[in-house]
A and B are shown apart, each in its own frame.
Chain A
Amino acid sequence: MAYIWPIGGGKGGSGKSFLTSSLGRLSARLGKRTLVIDLDLGAANLHTLVGVPYPKKGFSDFIRKKTFRLEDTVVETPFENLFLISGAHDNFDVANLPYEQKIKTLRAIMKLDYDSVLLDLGAGTSFNTLDFFLISQHGIFITTPEPTSIENVYRLIRSIYFRRIRYCFNVTDFKALEDEVVIQFGDGSFNKPECMIKVIADVYPEKYEQLQDAFSAFRFKLIINQVRKHDNAALGMQMSRMLEKHLGLHIEFAGNVAYDDHVHDAICQRVSFLDRYPCTRTACDLHEVGKQIVQPGGQQLMFRYL
């Protein structure tokens, strides 16, 4: 079974697609059959970054039932061992993926036969993004060291936490739970997952156990992208420490990636940054981060969509 790495970050422009393509390249170079999937539905551009400007097939063929197998939408890239499912040339309503299509996609992704699969997710906290993120316990969060981006990544982390709780309940139970939280912790506290989990521990002990197992199985990672020289290099450690202390969620800090104008140049010239500028600080950082991510430890656990 493939290792699946969903890559998400709250805000647009924080480098999700760039990191997905770079990590995909690094993993492919190590001889692993790597597939990158563009799940930024409606705003896809991963194909440009991996050197396939006009993909023949794409994800929408699967949605429009032109093909029945997700494998048939895979296109090859100029790089050895690297494959792509593109989101280019979608029909315009693909961003609002209906529920049954989403479940179908999630199941198909889990059955793919590759060594590692990287999912490039869209910005924002729509249910699609959250569900695709929760497909594996190896999710990667990306943020830049700016308040806007950090605000969004915290929001994404909380939303994912919330979504995972939501999986355990049906609609009426969840509504009752929300009411209970408001009674205990006051107005507005129903969107604080840390308050909600306390109520669950009291009211539904067996579900609480279940959620504890799920949360402790998460191996989420955090990458700080576009770090300038004068930025605080310890930011990632501080964030991961704070999340652990206040949200009880263990998110490992995987490293900083330096800011470099050459990334912009490489994208404009439509060449691979790692090939064109292999000795820059940023490329070294990407290698360091890639090492931790390409060689995972432990067993891949999947959420079951039945």
Chain B
Amino acid sequence: MPKDFTQLNYYEVLDIKPDAVAFEIRHAYNAALQVYQPGSLASYSFFPEDERQDILSLVETAYRTLISDQARKDYNEELIRRGELDVRKEATSTAKKPVSIFNISRNPVAKVALTNNETLKNKINQSQLIGDILAQNELCGADLKKIRTELGVLIEQIAQETKIRHDHLRSMEEDHVARLPAAVFLKGFVKSYLKCLCLEPVEALSTRYMDTVARLSQK
């Protein structure tokens, strides 16, 4: 059995929590007025006229008490004396902050594996295969792929690092001449690819790659 309406405390009358801020109190007051005022549809015929007046004056008192800081403090103390309110809940001073819905981490985490340039450079210097490929006159996409797999770097990592689309990277590595982007873009792409794998010298290697592609496309 719920308590009789006239015996509810002011917070219960307005349906708010004891730590509600002024905005919430005003909002709850408006909502209560919509329900209980004489012209309201929701409470039509629900109460006799005198009962409605009692309820309205109770809502009014509740609002006036809670909206004024001093009166609210006194009222809270009275509630605590009556044992209806915990002392902990009374502390209302901390302002509410917006709560984030998603926990987006803005720190670059995925880069760690690639930015470790020293290990990549060491690998390049030690590897026989990479040395052979770089010594050639030509540099095609398949060679790039070989170097990448030799270094143990995933194509997804390159895509993440360089922001080049997957399908472009794949057609570069598979030498799909027809599907490659325009030369002006391709040059930039291959440069970022090389930089990403710490292959030196970038300028010379990229020119070599572009020449190879040009020869392939003429075939």
Q: How many inter-chain contacts with C-beta < 8 Å in the A-B complex?
A: 44
Interface of B, secondary structure class, is loop
* A242 x B35 contact (CB < 8 A): yes
* A151 x B44 contact (CB < 8 A): yes
Q: Tell me, yes or no, whether B112 is within 8 Å of chain A by CB.
A: no
A/B interface sample: 18 pairs, CB < 8 A? A145-B41, A147-B41, A147-B44, A150-B41, A151-B45, A154-B44, A154-B45, A201-B1, A234-B34, A235-B41, A239-B42, A241-B35, A242-B42, A242-B43, A242-B46, A244-B2, A245-B5, A246-B47
* B42 x A235 contact (CB < 8 A): yes
* Most chain B CB atoms below 10 A, which of A235, A245, A248: A245
List residues of chain B with CB within 8 A of the CB of A147: 41, 44-45
- The chain A residues found within 8 Å of chain B, CB to CB, are 145-147, 150-151, 154-155, 197-198, 201, 208, 212, 232, 234-235, 238-239, 241-242, 244-246, 248
B1-51 contacts to A (CB < 8 Å): 1-2, 5, 15, 31, 34-35, 41-47
Bound-state CA distance A146–B45 (Å) is: 12
Count residues of chain B with CB under 8 A from any CB of chain A. 14
List residues of chain A with CB within 8 A of the CB of B5: 245-246
A117 to chain B, nearest CB (A): 31
List residues of chain A with CB within 8 A of the CB of B34: 234, 238
Interface of A, secondary structure class, is helix
List residues of chain A with CB within 8 A of the CB of B2: 244-245, 248
List residues of chain B with CB within 8 A of the CB of A244: 2
Bound-state CA distance A42–B123 (Å) is: 94
| A145 nearest CB neighbor, chain B only | B41
B43-71 contacts to A (CB < 8 Å): 43-47
Selected contact of A150 from candidates B1, B45, B47, CB within 8 Å: B45
List of 6 A-B pairs having minimum Cβ-Cβ separation, nearest first: A238-B42, A151-B45, A248-B2, A147-B44, A238-B35, A150-B44
List residues of chain A with CB within 8 A of the CB of B1: 197-198, 201, 208, 212, 248
Bound-state CA distance A245–B34 (Å) is: 15
Bound-state CA distance A151–B45 (Å) is: 6
Given A151-B44, A238-B43, A241-B35, 18 more contacts at CB 8 Å? A146-B41, A150-B44, A150-B45, A151-B45, A154-B45, A198-B1, A208-B1, A212-B1, A232-B41, A238-B31, A238-B34, A238-B42, A239-B42, A241-B15, A242-B35, A244-B2, A246-B47, A248-B1
Bound-state CA distance A145–B5 (Å) is: 25
| A234 nearest CB neighbor, chain B only | B34
Bound-state CA distance A47–B127 (Å) is: 87
A3 to chain B, nearest CB (A): 29
Bound-state CA distance A162–B15 (Å) is: 27
